[in-house]
Structures are given as C-alpha cells and as structure tokens.
A = this chain, B = another copy of it.
Amino acid sequence: MTELALHPDRLFPADPDTRAVARRLHAEVAGLPIVSPHGHTDPAWFATNAPFANPAELLITPDHYVFRMLYSQGVALEELGVPRADGGAVEIDPRRIWRRFAENYHLFRGTPSRIWHDWVYAEVFGLKVRLSAETADLYYDTMDAALKTEAFRPRALFDRFGIELLATTESPTDDLAHHKAIRDSGWKGRVVTAYRPDPVIDAEHEAFPEAMKRFAELTGEDVTTWKGYLAAHRKRRAVFAQAGATSTDHGHPTARTADLAPGEAEALFNVIVSSRASPEQAELFRAQMLTEMAAMSLDDGLVMQIHPGSFRNHNARVFARFGRDKGADIPTRTDYVRDLKPLLDRFGAEPSLTIVVFTLDETAYARELAPLAGHYPALRLGPAWWFHDSPEGMRRFREQTTETAGFYNTVGFNDDTRAFLSIPARHDVARRIDCGFLARLVVEHRLQEDEAHEIARALAYDLVKQAYRL
C-alpha cells in the first residue's frame, strides 16, 4: 500500500524561487471562505440534510467525469450503476461499483478527477493510503461508515468546508421548494438559486412542450403569446431573485445572439410555440432570447452567464440507452466575435450590466474573448470551464487572457459542479494555480509582490463577490 498525502506545495511551479513566492501568496488566500456562484449541487441535500447513501452513489454513479473515462476504456455504464432509460437491470451493489472504480483508478492519472478525488479521500475522509484494487474495501468501509455520521451530513460538510455562499441552478419550472425549506430551517448556510431558462427557451429539447405548460401554470401567464411569455420570465426571475438568485445561466449550443425588431421576434415566437420550428428557427429564437434576457437583467440586476459551445449527447447509443448528461457532451468551435455582436451592439456598452461569458473553445481566449472583455463594459470572462477546469486549463486561461483583458475583467472561480465533496478541492486547485501564475509574473519582474498579493485575494474572493453582486 502506498501513502496518500497531499503535498503542501502541490500544483506550484517547480522552480524554487517561483515556488517560494507562490507559497507566500497562497498562504494569504488558502483560508478565505469559498464563494461558489455557479454550480449544480442539489438543494434537497441542504433542505433535508439527509445523509448521503454510500460512497458509490455519492462519488461514482452521478459523476460524468468519472464514468466517461471508465466507459472510454471498456467499462459498461451498467456496471457502474448508471440507470438505464428503459429501466433495465444495472449494477446495484455499491461496493461492487466502488471496486470497479478502484481497480481502474490508474486511468485518472494526470487528470483533475484524480486531484479532486485524492483531496476528498485525504481531507474529507482522512484516508492515508492510495486508492487501488487492494485498498478498495478499506476505502469503502471507511467512507461508508463516515457517511452515516452527523459530521458527514450535507450541512455539516457545508460548514466544515467554509462555504460562504453556494448557488444551485434551477429551471423556471422549479418551484424552489427546497430553497424555501433551507431558508425556513433556521440553518445559517447561504444556498441560493440561479435562473436557468433553457428548458422554456430551447424548442429542440424534447421536454419543451411540457416545460412550457408548467411555466404557464406557475406564472398564470398565457405563455403562448409573446407578451405573456416575456411576462412569465419576468415573474419567475423576480421569484428567483427573491429566493436569493443574483444570476441567470444560459447553456446554448452556440454563442449566437440576435436583436430582432419586436414584430419579427413575436412572429418567430409564434412559430416556436406552434411546434413547427426548423432547427434554424429554434437557433434564432435561442439567440433572440439571450438579448431579451439581457434586457431583463438591465431591469432586475441579475448577472447573466453564457455557457455556450457544447455538442450535447454526441453518442447516439448512450443517449438512447441512458439519456442525457452521460459524459458524451463534446466541445465545438465557438465564434464570439460575430455571434455576440447583436447583443453587444444593444447592451455591451452598459456598465450596469454584467454578462459573464465562458468557453469550451480555448482558441477564443486570446483571439476573441480577451479582446472583447478588455473592451466592452458589460462583459466579463468566466474562469476555465468544464474540461478546462484543470491545472493546465487554468494556466492557459491566465496566460492567454491576462495580457489583453487583465485580471479585473475576470470573475474569480466557478466550480460548476454537482460533486459537492469536491468543491473545496476545486477551489484549492484554482487558488494554487493562480498563485503559481502570479508567482511567475513576480519572479519575471512583470509584477511586484505586493500587487500579486492583492490580485491573489481578488481572484480567490473579491472579484466573484463583485461580479455576482453578492
């Protein structure tokens, strides 16, 4: 058995002088509270505070980073307990699922999943040996026992992790009952929602008609008319804001925006609700709605997040058998210069609006996103996202955006995760990589150390609070 120990210098550059600066910078930010303004944890956890079921259900079965890698190497999703769309049999023994993962843990070498998992094992569960086939049961038993204790319930972990704020993401059709329960519970933890209207905007989503029906019910608006539809958004946004939301989120296939004349927008909407929209019309409607959402943000102050460029459910067999979100979403080239222009022509010059843009296409960092964010008052750059939420990905983000956009047109870190236990690990990686990047600037005499300290704190804490209006 091999020792598992998190090295205090992990993720810092190797050069001793640079590492020494990185250490000093990190010492000042390591203990700052975690602000998580965008993610996908389940508010039910904090509403009910029920214990997590077992290690596999907590750490393996719902984690697309984990099962995509195992699947790529020939492990069937059924063997990992991923539920089939047709209700067919899958593995239900969590220990066997855990063992399968443990036997294949070497596949994650060099990936961020490895870093996040090791952190969870060492820091959250106090494990002292490396995960492997041999230690699989030791791990399972240790974690399973811990999860049955009070100290491992969701609220206790939230407090232990030093989370100042955690945002979840809900559809306009969500009744936000869990958020209400959290607020009514007397618990001090701050868990807020974010407005993610894709289900009632994306006419190509199979559940669109159903979502529109629910949207009408919840708002009392006639969402089959353009006026009623927009009014319904305004109402739900207000409800979300009241439940603590400070942001909206938009996960479109492209970054396309449009700014149609009111009559054109209404005519397009009429096609959309007729269920006869072509793919191009569905795309144009999504584009138009980004501009409509920005207009509402100017009124209600919600920060707008755009997460474009994922080709969803690329694997037809996996989609047919298991449904959405099964690790088969693949990034595509994304054009920001032409696609965002209609929105920016209308609202880009508004300093009171904040639009946070993310990308899965790193080629846009230096060529498009940094120049845009380094110019438009309304634009800010979201951190390295999804596949790029990783040491190398974060380094490339800073190396390719800072010289044109600076640090202050970025918004700190987003963990964007459903994997609750890994949230501190993800922020830890971001803080270490940012401190390492700043240390390099200091040692190359491009920045003085007092300034690097200020920026390290801004990247870890201040900028996210400003950008998300927290």
Contacts and interface: CB of A to CB of B under 8 A. Distances in A.
Interface of A: 2, 6-7, 9-18, 68-69, 71-74, 106-112, 114-115, 130, 311, 314-318, 327-333, 335, 337-338, 341, 344-345, 348-349, 351, 360-363, 366-368, 370-377, 379, 387-388, 390-393, 399-400, 402-409, 440-441, 443-448, 450-451, 454-455
Contacts of A455: 109-110
Given A315-B348, A315-B349, A366-B362, A393 B387 contact: no
Given A10-B444, A328-B375, A330-B375, 20 more contacts: A72-B379, A73-B409, A106-B408, A109-B455, A110-B403, A110-B407, A110-B441, A112-B403, A115-B446, A311-B337, A311-B338, A314-B344, A318-B349, A329-B371, A331-B368, A331-B371, A332-B367, A333-B335, A392-B400, A392-B402
B363 A367 contact: yes
A337 B334 CA distance: 13
B367 A73 contact: no
A72 B377 contact: yes
B367 A333 contact: yes
A71 B344 contact: no
A448 to B, nearest CB: 7
A387 B408 contact: no
A257 to B, nearest CB: 13
A466 to B, nearest CB: 11
Q: Copy number of this protein in the oligomer?
A: 3
Contact of A368 (B9, B13, B330, B337): B330
Contacts of A2: 448, 450
A387 B371 contact: yes
Query: Of residues A106, A344, A444, which shows the largest number of chain B Cβ atoms within 10 Å of its Cβ?
Result: A444
A349 to B, nearest CB: 5
30 contacts: A6-B445, A11-B444, A69-B374, A72-B375, A73-B377, A74-B351, A111-B402, A111-B403, A111-B404, A130-B448, A314-B337, A314-B341, A314-B372, A315-B348, A317-B349, A328-B375, A330-B372, A330-B375, A331-B337, A332-B367, A361-B367, A362-B367, A363-B363, A366-B388, A370-B387, A391-B403, A391-B444, A391-B446, A392-B399, A392-B402
A267 to B, nearest CB: 24
A368 to B, nearest CB: 6
A85 to B, nearest CB: 15
A247 B327 CA distance: 29
Contacts of A7: 445
Query: Of residues A11, A108, A332, A367, which shows the largest number of chain B Cβ atoms within 10 Å of its Cβ?
Result: A367
A391 to B, nearest CB: 7
A444 B14 contact: yes
Contact of A327 (B107, B375, B406): B375
A12 B377 contact: no
A452 to B, nearest CB: 9
Contacts of A345: 315-317
B115 A409 contact: no
Query: Of residues A327, A328, A351, A446, which shows the largest number of chain B Cβ atoms within 10 Å of its Cβ?
Result: A446
Contacts of A73: 377, 408-409
Nearest to A112: B403
Nearest to A8: B445
Nearest to A388: B366
Given A330-B371, A344-B314, A446 B408 contact: no
Contacts of A348: 315, 317
